[in-house]
Amino acid sequence: MQLSHGVGYAEYSRKLDKRLQVEKEREKDYQASKDILRDINQHR
């Protein structure tokens, strides 16, 4: 988590604002991955 989001697990557990920020970034990364896979599958 530290490398991916710049937040350690202890801070993630303690601070709601950090947790929300990390989860927002995770959702953004997930959507980007889905878009990439969709593009790859369309070009097959």
Q: What is the pTM of this model?
A: 0.77
pLDDT of residue 44: 79
- In which domain, by residue range, is 28 found? 2-42
What does the DSSP 8-state code read for residue 6? S
pLDDT at residue 14 in the model: 96
Looking at residue 5, its pLDDT comes to 85
User: Digits of tens for pLDDT over the chain (44 positions)?
Assistant: 888 888 999 999 999 999 999 999 999 999 999 999 999 999 87
Let me know: does 2 contact 8? Beta carbons within 8 Å.
yes
Contact (CB, 8 A) for 7 and 24: no
Joined together, the tokens standing for residue 42 give 């369309």
Across the chain, mean pLDDT equals 94
Domain count, the chain: 1
Query: Alpha-carbon distance 10 to 16, whole Å?
Result: 12
Alpha helices in the chain (DSSP H): 2-5, 9-14, 16-42
